Amino acid sequence: MARTKRSRRSYSAGEWGRNRVRVFPDPKTGLFQIEWRENGRRLTRSLGHRDWTRAKRQADEFAAGFASPDLNGEAEAAPAPLTLEKLFDIYGEEVTPSKTKRVRHRDRVGTRMFLDFLGRDRRPETLSQRDWDRFIRERRAGRIGPSGKPVSNRTIELDLRFLIAVLNWATKSRDEEGRLLLVSNPLRGLRTPKEKNPSRVVLSEEEYHAMLGVSRQVDWRFHVAFVLAHETGHRIGAIRNLRWGDIDFEGREVRWRAEHEKTGYEHVTPMTDEAVATLEKARGSGAGTGNAPVLPSSRDATRGVQRASVFQWWRKAETLAGLEPKPRRGWHSLRRKFASDLMDLPLKVLCELGGWRDAQTVLRCYQRPDAGQLRTALEGRRGGSRLNPNRRE
């Protein structure tokens, strides 16, 4: 009776001593090889492609005696047309796994949405402006998407960016025969909808101190996270995943790991006195040692606190502080406060401190001058005019 063996490196079919066949990728070229024995000799031949499903089928056919080791005739057969389902499957296997957990989930949700809307058997090269406009219209109305509710232009923009990323990747990737998956992106250059007046709230100094005053009442972990977010300007996702091994008390530095950064950028930043004092107190109270999480989960001390918990703490702190609810005033408002407070720094320095890769993102989305800064700038301009005797009034 025929047996098959599956592994990540090879696939075998047939029986030992009779019709055993194995296929495996060549470590140098990546092309699949087929291996069998004939008159006691072990023979190997290249299949000339990198299609894993096709290679396994060829192994099964060869072991069953339906095909010879030559197999060249099949190699010349016309390739099956690329469908959206196949393209998203390839992207999901080769690109999505390298992303963060949250982005991987978003990729999977986006994949299901686009396949259901555009059609699984749709050819990517046939996509057009009509599909683009129809998706925007239907998504905005809430007739498609996982929530079934109307969404903002920002959400639609993120959805379409994912579709564009998949199509752009296909124009640079080749199939098993060395052909481009997609010759060109049919949706290239189309404009995504933009929020006219995006709400980007900056936590005020008064609000910060009000919430800081009640932070310990919420949870000691919230207090630590709140201070670190204010003093380092980093995302709450990166703060949640900090471990004591990332904290250098002697050098007064903290290491931000690439796998927990949205940009995938690993870097080290100095700590302020407030951040050091808060972390030392947490460590001194026995909160953790070694490489344990700085903010451990209540259910599993070996893992960082869950995302849902830190957002629940934030809402509780707002209530205890007596702050009126304000949309989009969350953890990211501290990141905007950090960028705005340090507006006088050179952008390169600010980007390094906060973990930004793109200075334009800081200018466009994070920095917000307050009334005091605007007034100071005008007063400085008037003072400069008086000091310059050559300036014309």
Q: What is the pLDDT of residues 183-219, one digit of tens each?
A: 999 999 999 988 776 678 889 999 999 999 999 999 9
Q: What pLDDT is attached to residue 131?
A: 96
Question: Where in the chain are the domains?
Answer: 3-75, 84-170, 205-373
Q: What pLDDT is attached to residue 67?
A: 53
Q: What is the pLDDT of residues 246-273, one digit of tens each?
A: 999 999 999 999 888 877 788 999 999 9
Q: What pLDDT is attached to residue 38?
A: 78
Q: What pLDDT is attached to residue 135?
A: 96
CATH code matching the domain that covers 205-373, chosen among 1.10.443.10, 3.30.70.2660, 1.10.3720.10, 3.40.1390.10 = 1.10.443.10
**Is 240:305 a contact under the CB 8 Å cutoff?**
yes
Q: What pLDDT is attached to residue 293?
A: 93
3 state SS for the chain: CCEEEECCCCEEEECCCCCCEEEEECCCCCCEEEEEEECCEEEEEECCCCCHHHHHHHHHHHHCCCCCCCCHHHHCCCCCCCCHHHHHHHHHHHCHHHCCHHHHHHHHHHHHHHHHHHCCCCCHHHCCHHHHHHHHHHHHHCCCCCCCCCCCHHHHHHHHHHHHHHHHHHCCCECCCCCECCCCCCCCCCCCCCCCCCCCCCCCHHHHHHHHHHHHHHCHHHHHHHHHHHHHCCCHHHHHCCEHHHEECCCCEEEECHHHCCCCCCEEEECCHHHHHHHHHHHHCCCCCCCCECCECCCCCCCECCHHHHHHHHHHHHHHCCCCCCCCCCHHHHHHHHHHHCCCCCHHHHHHHHCCCCHHHHHHHHCCCCHHHHHHHHHHHHHHHHHCCCCCC
Q: What pLDDT is attached to residue 187?
A: 95
Residue 211 identity: M
Residues with pLDDT less than 70, the chain? 1-9, 66-79, 197-198, 286-289, 382-393
Q: What pLDDT is attached to residue 3?
A: 47
Determine if the pTM surpasses 0.85. Answer: no
